[in-house]
Amino acid sequence: MVDKTQTPRMFTAIARRYDLLNRVLSLNVDRGWRRSLVDLAMAREGAKVLDVAAGTGDVAIEFAKRTPANRIVCLDRSPGMLDVARGKLRRLQLDARIDLIEADALEMPFGDESFDAVTIAFGLRNLPDYQAGVREMARVLKPGGRLLVLEFFPPRGGLFLQAYRFYLGTILPVTGRVVSGSKDAYEYLSSSIKSFASHEDVHGYLTAAGLERLERQKLTGGISFIHFGVKPGHAQR
């Protein structure tokens, strides 16, 4: 198992192939998952949005395309992933609208109640402390704002669960190794998905962080889910 303090270096090593592998390994459905995440954030005109563990910037790009958010911030600890994001933003002429910040998700360089929406897509499982990560995201969220967590969760049982386990144990690490050249990275990704928290755990993290009106949305038959909640208080604009 990879030490999670080393994940920024690991993701930097696969950064140039990361988007391609996401498309291949998800059969391109991951784009729809991110669109659903952005739509559920309900970012309005003038909103400030933060995407944590932002990787190569796909969620931020969807915010820029699908919402009137005024300021969009990507935060990630991997300089290589942010370099790829920077190139994409230049090509799409979105670099003036989206800020990239290299920082630790457990100690973010923002004041309390700075953002109208905070998202994290397939990144919570990479944090050394899930509860601390959710608590820090809730800290920078404005009252009335939404915090949203997009993650993989194992199906509840049956043939779908067996197929899912075969995919994680065989297809993901083998394909990832062949395309990216990194054996450790995709073995880590497989193991991190298998060992991630349950729905009940994530619900508990959001509750402990003070969020209310908790909901979850199932995607693609339950391969992934979006858990989300609202910070108590009136929205601030």
Tell whether 14 is covered by a domain.
yes
Tell whether 17 is covered by a domain.
yes
Tell whether 144 is covered by a domain.
yes
Is the distance from CB of 236 to CB of 143 less than 8 angstroms? yes
Residues 5-21 have pLDDT tens digits of 667 777 887 787 777 77
Domain span at residue 16 reads 4-156+197-230
Residues 165-196 have pLDDT tens digits of 777 777 767 776 766 666 666 677 777 777 78
How many domains is the chain partitioned into structurally? Answer: 1
pTM of the model: 0.89
Tell whether 221 is covered by a domain.
yes
Tell whether 191 is covered by a domain.
no
Tell whether 165 is covered by a domain.
no
- Separation between Cα atoms, residue 155 and residue 109, nearest integer Å: 36
**How crowded is the C-beta side of 44, counted as CA atoms within 13 Å?**
7
At 80, list the tokens: 């290589």
- Separation between Cα atoms, residue 99 and residue 108, nearest integer Å: 14
- Separation between Cα atoms, residue 57 and residue 51, nearest integer Å: 8
The three-class DSSP label of residue 176 is helix
Would you give the end-to-end CA distance of the chain in angstroms?
A: 44
Tell whether 53 is covered by a domain.
yes
- Separation between Cα atoms, residue 62 and residue 230, nearest integer Å: 21
Is the distance from CB of 30 to CB of 59 less than 8 angstroms? no
CATH at residue 113: 3.40.50.150
Tell whether 162 is covered by a domain.
no
Residues 71-114 have pLDDT tens digits of 999 999 999 999 999 999 999 999 999 999 999 999 999 999 99
Q: Which residue matches tokens 């820090």? A: 136
* pLDDT score of 1: 47
